Structure 1
Amino acid sequence: MNETTSPPVSLAAQLRQTQADFLSTVPVDIQEVLAAASASLAQSHLEQYTLGVGAVAPDFCLPNVDGKSVCLRDALAKGPVVISFYRGGWCPYCNLELRALQQHYSEISALGTTLLAISPQLPDRSRAVTEEDPLSFEILSDVGDVVARKFGLVYSVPETVRPIYQQWGIDLPTWNGDDTWELPMPATFVLDHAGTVRGAFVQMDYTQRMEPADIVAILRTLRNGNDWHF
């Protein structure tokens, strides 16, 4: 008797399930506050100001969990680069994304690509993420959202949401080392070896992320077009 294996569950499906599980435990009044805040942010259309396909990514150097400086220009010298901006280790949707990227890391790496994940949290907080879920790629700390701002990703957490976050133990000033309550919109950028954006996914809705399979597909297209050298 032949055994059949189930197809891998997409990141989108995992995110939807996580959101459904979360909402099932949240009181209706808090859900309403969160929904209103999300709707207000969506109406701001911040996505239109972000770095798009065809733009050249700004260079940067950020510390990894060991305090070592990692520079985009050095990564680009080796080939394409994938940059994933995420909110922090306190965000379950972000953690799902990081795990999904890890699952596809061998494919991404085999295509000569460097993967960088960036959040505004302090290096020690980022280290905790890697200790809980060992990752093969660099986790960088963008304290103050300096780099995220260059990519046009920064927004301020609405004041109505801040006490809810604190009630849940999410104290962003402690996580990020400042009191701005600013976060990056979740975003993924696929860069060719020249630093040009060849694929971009930016979402004001933090429950949405780019599928790792789509990242791999873009990288394969670049390779097949001889768009870089190894």
Structure 2
Amino acid sequence: FIGMDQNGKKISLQGLLKEHKSVVLFFYRGQWCPYCNKHIKELQDSLQLLTSKDAYVIGVTPETNENISKTIKKTSAGFSIIQDKDDDIMKAYGVNFMMDDATFSKYKGYGIDLEVNNGNTRHTLPVPATYIINRSGKIKFVHFDPNYQKRASINTLTKEL
């Protein structure tokens, strides 16, 4: 994949794998999700440990750049986050799902407007998954759980790196 991070830096997986032993790629739903913010904060708090193993941490989200800025403010994230504007990266990793109308309305009732947050009307979110991709481009580790409350632990990630 190729995308632009929050700083306007062009990020390509192929380029990252030339420079690093591995990439920790994670998908998150948005700045409105407390479980996402907790996980991002944990990744940030352990960033030095992860990078000491020559890993590059990168997040992917459908939310707008404005909302990525809110995520960074809430979590102090110091790593790249890419807006997956057209859901292409989510689709490539098989983590995208379409929220049904009833759930969309329920979220809106909670004050979470995905159309505003993501800047589109698709109602698509990622399963909050985490991948470790090694230098040869092979996926070495996957944490994929439709239960958005469950995330890959830092302990597991460091063991897998």
**1:176 — aligned with what?**
118
Q: Secondary structure at the match of 2:11?
A: strand
Give the one of 118, 122, 127 matched to 2:69.
Answer: 127
Q: How does 1:66-215 map to 2 (within 5 A)?
A: 66-79=7-20, 80-215=22-157
Distance in 2 of aligned mates of 1:73 and 1:122: 24
Query: How many residues in Structure 1 have an aligned counterpart in Structure 2?
Result: 160
Are the counterparts in 2 of residues 173 and 179 from structure 1 also a CA contact under 8 Å? yes
> How far apart are residue 209 of structure 1 and its match?
0.5
> How far apart are residue 120 of structure 1 and its match?
0.5
> How far apart are residue 125 of structure 1 and its match?
1.0
**2:158 — aligned with what?**
216
Distance in 1 of aligned mates of 2:3 and 2:56: 15
Deviations along 1:112-159, whole A, 9 cap, x unmatched?
Answer: 110001111111210121123222211111112111101111111122
TM-score by length of 2: 0.95
Identical amino acids, percent of aligned pairs? 26
**1:64 — aligned with what?**
5
Higher strand share: 2
Deviations along 1:160-204, whole A, 9 cap, x unmatched?
Answer: 111111111111111111101011111000011111001001011
Distance in 2 of aligned mates of 1:130 and 1:122: 12
Q: Secondary structure at the match of 2:125?
A: strand
> How far apart are residue 213 of structure 1 and its match?
1.0
Distance in 2 of aligned mates of 1:184 and 1:192: 22
Higher helix share: 1
TM-score by length of 1: 0.67
Distance in 2 of aligned mates of 1:98 and 1:132: 9
> How far apart are residue 68 of structure 1 and its match?
2.3
Distance in 2 of aligned mates of 1:205 and 1:217: 23
Distance in 1 of aligned mates of 2:133 and 2:65: 25
Moved over 4 A (4+): none
The CA RMSD measured in Å over matched residues stands at 1.0
Instruction: State which structure, 1 or 2, has the greater radius of gyration over its C-alpha atoms.
Output: 1
